[in-house]
Amino acid sequence: MLIVHHLENSRSQRILWLLEELELDYEIRHYSRDPVSLLAPEALRKIHPLGKSPLLEDDGQVLAESGAIIEYLADRYGRGRLWPTEDGAQRQQVRYWLHYAEGSLMPPLLLRLVFDQVRKAPAPWLVRPVIRGVDARVSQSFISPQLALHLDYLESHLAGSEWFAGGSMTAADIQMSFPLEAAAARGALDGKRHPRLQTFLERIHQRPAWQRALQRGGAYAYA
């Protein structure tokens, strides 16, 4: 039995979506974030030393990292669905987006989240102007331009196809879903500037497998 160690409001939601797309049987073990720090609970460290989610158990082994889990599931259980079996352009595209999502798109989103938390955190009134100034400078000089660069790139890419790796949905779209949902939730994705990205999110949210995953995983907040 496949076991997903599922942390609320996390990347593990897309693992549930993949499992539903592949129509596989699996068990969910739910974990809640600390209400103050929003960090994962210590219980996850009993499964993997880093204590992160998602984690997948299968045949006595524990797999970590969203991209690695998605590739493993699609390659082992997909039977050609969502992961091209033949070497070629589409297979390379799927692999590219699998790495791009976390390696290139998530870092500026994570920085935006960190600086938002720093700006909102309690601080002496003398320090607050300094914090706001640093936040504004980093946002204007790096975070916002980087997010615009990546989202414009993705919007342009989808001009040639509804999906990231060709004419049909693949594991690449599942991997790309989380950073795009996070960008939309944080106001970085402009529906007028990025209509194709907005349509992509609407399309995946209408999929029965995505909706089943949401029902099993529970309420999901991206921001």
| 223 falls within a domain | no
Average pLDDT over residues 174-194: 92
pLDDT more than 90, % of the chain: 64
Query: Is residue 164 over pLDDT 80?
Result: yes
Q: Which residues of 76-100 are buried (b: 16+ CB within 10 A; e: fewer)?
A: ebbeebbbbeeeeebeebbbebbeb
Tokens representing 161 are 């196809």
Give me the domain span that covers residue 26: 2-83+213-217
Q: Cβ distance 15 to 8 under 8 Å?
A: no
Query: Is residue 130 over pLDDT 60?
Result: no
One domain, residues 104 and 185: yes
Listed in sequence order, the residues at least 6 apart from 205 whose beta carbon sits closer than 8 Å to its beta carbon are 211
Q: What is the pTM of this model?
A: 0.90
One domain, residues 107 and 186: yes
Q: Centre a 10 Å sphere on the Cβ of residue 145 and count the other Cβ atoms it contains.
A: 12
Query: Is residue 60 over pLDDT 80?
Result: yes
Average pLDDT over residues 108-125: 75
Average pLDDT over residues 36-54: 90
Average pLDDT over residues 86-105: 92
Which pLDDT band, with edges at 50, 70 and 90, does 88 fall under?
confident
One domain, residues 53 and 104: no
Distance in angstroms (rounded) separating the CA atoms of residues 202 and 207: 9
The closest alpha carbon to 164, from 80, 85, 81, 100, belongs to 100
Which pLDDT band, with edges at 50, 70 and 90, does 223 fall under?
very low
| 222 falls within a domain | no
Higher pLDDT residue, 32 or 86?
A: 32
One domain, residues 66 and 131: no
Count of domains forming the chain: 2
Average pLDDT over residues 156-161: 94
Tokens representing 104 are 């290139």
